[in-house]
Amino acid sequence: MSDRRKRVGSILRAVLDEAIPGGASLAYVFGSGLLYLLLSQIITGMFLVLYYVPSADHAHTTVAYITKEVASGSFIRSIHAYGSSAIVIVLLLHVTQTFLYGSYKGRRKLLWLAGCALFALMLGMSFTGYLLPWDQKAYFATTVGTNILTYVPFVGNSLKTLLRGGTEMGTLTLSRFFVFHVFLIPACIFAFVAIHVFMFRKAGPAGPVQGAPEALKQSTEPFYPKQVLYDVAFAVLIIACLGLLAHYAPVELGPKANPVDTQYVPRPEWYYVPVFQWLKYWESGLAVLGILVIPAFVTLLFVALPFLDRRPERRPWKRPVSVSIYGFVFIGLGAMGAISHRNDLRDPNIAPQLAKQRADVQAFMKKPFEPELAGPSLIAATVALTNPVAGK
């Protein structure tokens, strides 16, 4: 027992006494914030899985039951939904801070690659989780997303059929997305988080962008207590923001998916809206170029950044070309999101339909939960729980 305590103590000392070049800083809180958000998603997701049934017949009803009947169910579901958006925001802040500080240079190439893999996995989590409520918004937005696979040469249609579990979306699609969202992608995330943390420990903190390396080594500060306090304060801020949003603006649930509704206008989650707008510009014969070639090229440049930018210079004002390109990409994405929103408001055909869809969501949320819509199997289970004799 004493040897085990010594090993635990040595690990804690190694973590808490780690030297931070240049001292603690608020710029370093985003990584720990992402770990907290991941933990929050795991806890709230485990609660939701207790009630959720991944089938076309029961998925929407179980989510409606969580939202309308389960004690604090709407609050926890809202924490989970807002947490997904918070991960994207903090992840972008973390990547931006890493890029501006030049923290991908030198010995941190593999650390950057592991971070890029985590970025892709987080976006995959958001995409697969979006379908699970099986309401109108989730169904049609995912339909558009899976249709993009058809632009992949030679194997596009096969990939779409494999992901959907058939030519149309249904229970097999839900079960596949559920497995990806709950098991496969989280397992990959855990693995890459471990790799990312291990590589960070091996490479060490990059430190601030100013100052000679020798001077920064002399002005180091241990991780505990100041940086720990910064990280805890940021986590508390995240908790407060998620809690306030979940309480005062709970996430709504729309009517159950109706595949034959030809009037529905699908719109993705906010962080996919720029991509959605970009796809509109490539609906002609150049679709493969705009949907596959250009995004793949930009992604490759982003991933290969440490191998392309080999200069030791880390100060952003001394890297005007790369910083300008990075800023241009983000400004472009923001502009496309704004254009998409403006077009929706001004289009005489789309704006009324979107207003009707919002009204349908609000009307559904006002309706009481109706268990008879759950289907025979869930009704039988409910009867068996409330009246065991009748259930037999």
pLDDT in tens, 272-308: 999 999 999 987 778 889 999 999 999 999 999 999 9
DSSP conformational letter for 368? P
Evaluate whether residue 285 is within a structural domain. Answer: yes
Does pLDDT of 8 surpass 80? Answer: no
Omega of the bond leading into 225 within 30 degrees of 0 (cis): yes
Buried b (16+ CB within 10 A) or exposed e, 72-95: ebbbbbbbbbbbbebbbebbeebb
**Predicted TM-score (pTM) of this structure:** 0.90
Is 3 a domain residue? Answer: no
Evaluate if residue 391 carries a pLDDT over 60.
no
- 91 contacts 34 by C-beta, under 8 angstroms: yes
DSSP string, 218-260: HT-EESTTHHHHHHHHHHHHHHHHHHHHHHHSPPP--SBP-TT
- For 246, the domain range is 20-391
| Among 69, 63, 28, 68, CA closest to 48 | 63
Within 10 angstroms of residue 342's Cβ, the number of other Cβ atoms is: 10
In a domain, 15, yes or no: no
β-pair partners for 19: 222
Query: Residue 209's pLDDT is what?
Result: 78
Q: Would residue 4 count as lying in a domain?
A: no
Instruction: Please compute the mean of the pLDDT values over residues 21-48 and round it to a whole number.
Output: 93
Domain count, the chain: 1
Count of CB atoms situated within 10 Å of the CB of 9: 10
* pLDDT, tens only, 55-99: 999 999 999 999 999 999 999 999 999 999 999 999 999 999 999
Give Dmax over CA atoms of the chain in angstroms.
79
Per-residue pLDDT of 116-162, as tens digits, reads 999 999 999 999 999 999 999 999 999 999 999 999 989 999 999 99
Residue 135: CATH number of its domain = 1.20.810.10
Model confidence at 14, pLDDT cuts 50, 70, 90, reads low
Nearest by Cα to 292 from 159, 115, 131: 159
Measure the CA–CA gap between 154 and 156, rounded to whole angstroms. Answer: 6
Helix, strand or coil, per DSSP, at residue 189: helix
Residue 379 has pLDDT above 50, yes or no: no
What is the Cα–Cα distance from 42 to 60, expressed in whole angstroms? 21
Determine the pLDDT at residue 378: 46
- Dist CA 219 CA 200 (whole Å): 20
Res. 254: pLDDT tops 90: yes
Name the β-bridge partners of 20: 221
Residue 273 lies in a domain: yes
Q: Which range is least confidently modeled, 244-253, 311-320, 331-340?
A: 311-320
Dist. CA 313–CA 315, nearest whole Å: 6
Percent of the chain with pLDDT over 90: 74
Residue 151 makes CB contacts below 8 A (sequence gap 6+) with: 287, 288, 291, 292
Residue 44: pLDDT above 90?
yes
Confidence band (pLDDT; 50, 70, 90) for 32?
very high
Question: pLDDT-based confidence at 106, cuts 50/70/90?
Answer: confident
Residue 266 located in a structural domain: yes
The CA–CA distances, whole Å, from 319 to 87, 111, 210, 353 equal: 28, 21, 14, 47
Residue with tokens 């729980």: 385
pLDDT at 389 over 50: no
pLDDT at 380 over 50: no
